[in-house]
Amino acid sequence: MPRAILICLLMLASACTGDETLSAFGAADKTWRLSSIDNAAFPAIARLAFPEPGKITGHTPCNSFQGAQTAPYPWFSAEALTVTRAACPELALETEFLQSLQKMTLAEVSGDVLILSNGQGREMLFTAGG
């Protein structure tokens, strides 16, 4: 009996120190391609990834970016984003993507679908792959 209690305590302690971010709840090990913002198809390529706990990386139509995402699931927060500074014809779409991303506060992962949203009714829909 004491051995079973010890095992349970060790399992509980390791669970408390584990990753509680989006990457631990189905978002890791996938590249997420933006499909739409606020139900409007996104006409360029933008990608998002969670390469390790607390990290966010991606590619906008023009540049790449990285930052932190440390909010516990189902919360979302794209923090301290650093973006490369190449110019391209789709710079306005890049701005729309990054501004929308920083306004998202909730996340939901269901298989190959990632939905980021906020309390104002805004939404970004991503699909895995591509």
* Residues 69-86: tens digit of each pLDDT: 989 999 999 999 999 999
For the record, the structure tokens of 57 come out as 């990386």
Across 37-53, average pLDDT:
96
Note the pLDDT of residue 9. Answer: 36
Q: Are strands 79-83 and 123-128 parallel, antiparallel or unpaired?
A: unpaired
Note the pLDDT of residue 21. Answer: 82
Q: Identify the band that residue 13 occupies on the pLDDT scale cut at 50, 70 and 90.
A: very low
For the chain, strand residue ranges (E) read 31-37, 40-41, 47-49, 55-59, 64-68, 79-83, 106-110, 113-117, 123-128
Note the pLDDT of residue 73. Answer: 93
Whether the per-residue pLDDT at 18 is higher than 90: the answer is no
Q: What percent of the chain clears pLDDT 70, i.e. is strictly above it? A: 85
Whether the per-residue pLDDT at 58 is higher than 50: the answer is yes
16 by DSSP, 3-state: which?
Answer: helix
Closest Cα partner for 114 from 19, 52, 30? 30
Q: Are strands 40-41 and 31-37 parallel, antiparallel or unpaired?
A: antiparallel
Note the pLDDT of residue 12. Answer: 40
Note the pLDDT of residue 130. Answer: 65
Instruction: Tell me which H or E stretch contains 100.
Output: helix 91-103
Residues written for the chain:
130
Across 85-97, average pLDDT:
95
Q: Identify the band that residue 10 occupies on the pLDDT scale cut at 50, 70 and 90.
A: very low
Across 51-78, average pLDDT:
95
Greatest Cα-to-Cα distance within the chain, rounded to the nearest angstrom: 67
